[in-house]
Amino acid sequence: MSYDKFFIDGHWVAPSTDACLAVINPATEEVIAEVAAGGPQDVDLAVSAARRAFADWRRTSGAERAGYLRAIARAIEARAGELAAISSRNNGKPLFEAEIDIGDAIATYDYYAGLAEQLDERQNVPVVLAAEGFESRTRLEPAGVVGLIVPWNFPFVTTAWKVAPALAAGCTIVLKPSEVTPLVELQMGEIAQQVGLPAGVLNIVNGSGPDVGAPLTNHPGIDKVSFTGSNRVGETVMQSAAKQIQSVSLELGGKSPMLVFEDADLDGAVEWILGGIFYNAGQMCSATSRLLVQERIAPQLLERLKSASEAITLGDSFDTNTQMGPLTSAAQYQTVQAYIERGRAEGLQLLTGGNRAAGFDRGYFIEPTIFVDVPTDSALWREEIFGPVLCVRTFTDEAEAIRLANDNDFGLAAGIITADGQRAQRVSEALDAGHIWINSLQVVFPETSWGGFKRSGIGRELGPWGLSAYLEVKHITRPLD
Ligand code: TXE
């Protein structure tokens, strides 16, 4: 495996230019690797390889593709410790979080192996239109050559959520990792070689959004784009897809609410609230960054949240005491700092945090931060911050809680904490969100969907929906004999 090459057509290939990307450890700000940065020519090469490979790969059976997917899962499993370490060092997340990511990726490849096998049984299923005298057979065919663009917060997981269903469907792939965290995805090239994945089925080109991402989404040889990242870039991805009437899946931002009712188990509430905003240093599209607390319990809950947040140990990923790492990049650190400054300038009340974490000379560390009584027109209440910053408001009754929760442009996720099962069901049906957790941390399973309402994106990843995103439906209709 080579950081100065791209994985194209089954080989490690020298890039078209000698441009490089410095990859940083966000806990130390040290350069940990130099990675080749590509351009449109590299994208061309990768798309051509994927197009050639598609001719045979599309004709493989689901069972054959399942064999490769399971082999990928086993190869990741065999290197799980090493992959988690690479991911932690590059992303800054504590090692235990990176281990969860690797486990999630393994489960995803295994799950889509099962769905690939089922695809064989789902082919050519007849729909008999007896009254009309016709029979129509349904075929599910791969969407073609797909461009997959992933961000830096959960790089190996997001890659698995796209690569696994795309391979299961019979698509061939050009993957663009984030320029911030390319190291762990590059390992997928080595894994592809190791499991004997046919040349050109998976291609990986590193580089910036403008130099590699944009040429990929604009490439006429790409049939579908799946993108996870910011709304700003999501819009441009959709614009280029519009020009070519190309299928596009978008997993974008969020500003998800957590609703805590007065009958809540407060110990559980503290754990689930903190998990929803400080896991991965808050760099989660699904972060429950707007906390809505029923008035009567607000004083006790806030007191507990303050002391629990102040007890969170920040540190290097490899320190076993570390509960929260740094922000992943200097740019994200600055973005989060700017939001905190804006909160101060708006006169918002800080319950805790709001500063660079003490005791760190280097690294992008920010204290777990909580603002209370945040007005609904504040930028901090409305916009995605993507960092360890929680905004709190109170509500009086269920109707107000639902109204406040839904009063946002995004609709990715939500959390509900209550001892009343009927209320939990009622409220979850009323919320505009793609995934809702009741009295729980944000557990994610390959079987359940991922994606959002409103501006959180288009389409769903995971589950059978994740596979459908890479399939075209064809009907073959003829008169009954
Ligand atoms: O994302 P970008 P950034 C949100 C979060 C964060 C903000 C900015 O709010 O603060 O986005 O993060 C590629 N054509 N999310 O700037 O730029 C880029 O190279 C094609 C939420 O890092 O969207 C990278 O691979 N691709 C999100 C990917 O897009 C382009 C996760 C994401 O980068 C491109 C990350 C272009 N013109 C950030 N420009 C989530 N939904 O989880 C960039 N890219």
Tens digit of pLDDT for each residue in 123-177? 989 988 888 899 999 999 999 999 999 999 999 999 999 999 999 999 999 999 9
The reply to whether 90 falls in a domain is yes
The reply to whether 262 falls in a domain is yes
Going by CA atoms, what residue is nearest to atom 26 of ligand 1? Answer: 213
The reply to whether 450 falls in a domain is no
231 CB within 6 A, ligand 1: no
Q: Among the options 285, 384, 391, 461, which is catalytic?
A: 285
335 CB within 6 A, ligand 1: yes
Residue 2 has pLDDT above 80, yes or no: no
Q: Is 319 helix (H, G, I), strand (E, B) or coil?
A: coil
The reply to whether 451 falls in a domain is no
The reply to whether 134 falls in a domain is yes
Ligand 1 centroid from CA 290, angstroms: 22
Ligand 1 centroid from CA 373, angstroms: 30
The reply to whether 385 falls in a domain is yes
Same domain, 197 and 321: no
Ligand 1 centroid from CA 1, angstroms: 26
Contacting residues for 338 by C-beta, under 8 A, at least 6 apart: none
237 CB within 6 A, ligand 1: yes
Same domain, 33 and 139: yes
Same domain, 381 and 244: no
pLDDT, residue 49, reads 98
Same domain, 291 and 239: no
Write the CATH number for 356: 3.40.309.10
Same domain, 228 and 292: no
Report, as an integer, the average pLDDT of 300-312: 98
Is 251 marked active-site?
yes
Nearest to 255 by CA among 139, 381, 165: 381
Ligand 1 centroid from CA 384, angstroms: 13
Residue 301 pLDDT class (50, 70, 90 cuts):
very high
Same domain, 331 and 422: yes
pLDDT, residue 1, reads 58
pLDDT, residue 481, reads 80
Give the domain extent around 435: 257-445
Nearest to 28 by CA among 452, 326, 242, 405: 326
Ligand 1 centroid from CA 228, angstroms: 7
259, two tokens: 């609703």
Same domain, 167 and 71: yes
| pLDDT tens string 34-67 | 999 999 999 999 999 999 999 999 999 999 999 9
Could you give the percent of the chain with pLDDT greater than 70? 100
CB 473 within 8 A of CB 138: yes
Same domain, 224 and 273: no
When divided into structural domains, the chain yields a total of 2
Atom of ligand 1 nearest to the CA of 158: 42
The reply to whether 1 falls in a domain is no
Report, as an integer, the average pLDDT of 270-285: 98
Ligand 1 centroid from CA 149, angstroms: 9
pLDDT, residue 128, reads 83
pLDDT, residue 310, reads 98
Same domain, 53 and 92: yes
469, two tokens: 């995103």
Q: Looking up tokens 């204290």, which residue turns up?
A: 367
Is 285 marked active-site?
yes
Going by CA atoms, what residue is nearest to atom 19 of ligand 1? Answer: 209
Contacting residues for 235 by C-beta, under 8 A, at least 6 apart: none
pLDDT, residue 129, reads 86
**pTM, whole model, 2 decimals?**
0.97
Report, as an integer, the average pLDDT of 204-216: 98
Residue 276 pLDDT class (50, 70, 90 cuts):
very high
Pairing of strands 413-417, 257-260: parallel
pLDDT, residue 217, reads 97
37 CB within 6 A, ligand 1: no
Going by CA atoms, what residue is nearest to atom 25 of ligand 1? Answer: 178
Cα separation of 354 and 376, whole Å?
Answer: 20
174 CB within 6 A, ligand 1: no
pLDDT, residue 144, reads 98
Cα separation of 229 and 385, whole Å?
Answer: 13
Write the CATH number for 207: 3.40.605.10
Same domain, 474 and 431: no
The reply to whether 208 falls in a domain is yes
> What is the overall mean pLDDT for the chain?
97
Same domain, 377 and 288: yes
Cα separation of 373 and 292, whole Å?
Answer: 10
Same domain, 229 and 315: no
Mutate to test the pocket of ligand 1, among 101, 175, 230, 340 (most ligand atoms within 8 A of CB): 230
Going by CA atoms, what residue is nearest to atom 13 of ligand 1? Answer: 209
22, two tokens: 């410095």
